[in-house]
Amino acid sequence: MRRRFVIQFHNTGEGSHYDLMLEAGEALATWHLERLPSGLAAGQVLPARALPDHRRAYLSYEGPVSGGRGSVRIADRGQCRILIRGQDEWSFELAGEKVRGRFTLRRLAGECWELTGGSDPPERREGSACPG
């Protein structure tokens, strides 16, 4: 089943990052990324940190974030197809304007994950940095 995704550029008083959000039922499963994953080649890894689910309104929202948490603007959006949705691993395809291809998110420990580009992710590595 096709779902939607959005990647928001989140500017805060302490810096900026990207939030990857995948439509998963009534909410958006969300991960913090240090950079936009466009051009992430097969096997390349980008540290990620799981965030609480976000409201589906963020699929199209741009502007200030409540509680003085900065502002967001849409960096990319489009369709996604979730292939695997597990507690410790998500595999999905994104079809956006900037970000396209197959990706895998794997939990390393707690809220620390890694995003891997391509269809054949490398062996799981311990000790990868967790952003933010």
Q: For residue 121, what pLDDT band results from cuts at 50, 70 and 90?
A: very low
Residue that wins the pLDDT comparison between 2 and 34: 34
User: In this structure, are residues 118 and 102 in contact, taking their beta carbons and an 8 Å threshold?
Assistant: yes
Residue 5 has pLDDT above 80, yes or no: yes
What whole-number distance in Å separates Cα of residue 14 and Cα of residue 56? 25
Decide: 117 and 44 in contact? Cβ < 8 Å: yes
Q: What dihedral angle (degrees, nearest 10) is formed by the CA atoms of 64, 66, 68, 73?
A: -30
Amino acid occupying residue 40: L
Alpha carbons 25 and 128: distance in angstroms, whole number: 30
Domain count, the chain: 1
| Cα 34 to Cα 7, 10, 20, 27, distances in angstroms | 12, 10, 10, 22
- Average pLDDT value over all residues in the chain: 90
Residue 59 φ then ψ, to 5°:
-60, -25
Collapsing DSSP to helix, strand or coil, 66 comes out as helix
Q: Answer yes or no: is 127 within a domain.
A: no
pLDDT at position 120: 47
Give the residue numbers spanning the domain of 17.
2-117
Q: Give the pLDDT confidence score for residue 122 in this predicted structure.
A: 42
Q: What is the pLDDT of residues 55-113, one digit of tens each?
A: 999 999 999 998 889 999 999 999 999 999 999 999 999 999 999 999 999 999 999 99
Structure tokens belonging to residue 61 = 């929202």
Look at residue 129 and tell me if it is in a domain: no
Name the pTM for this structure.
0.89
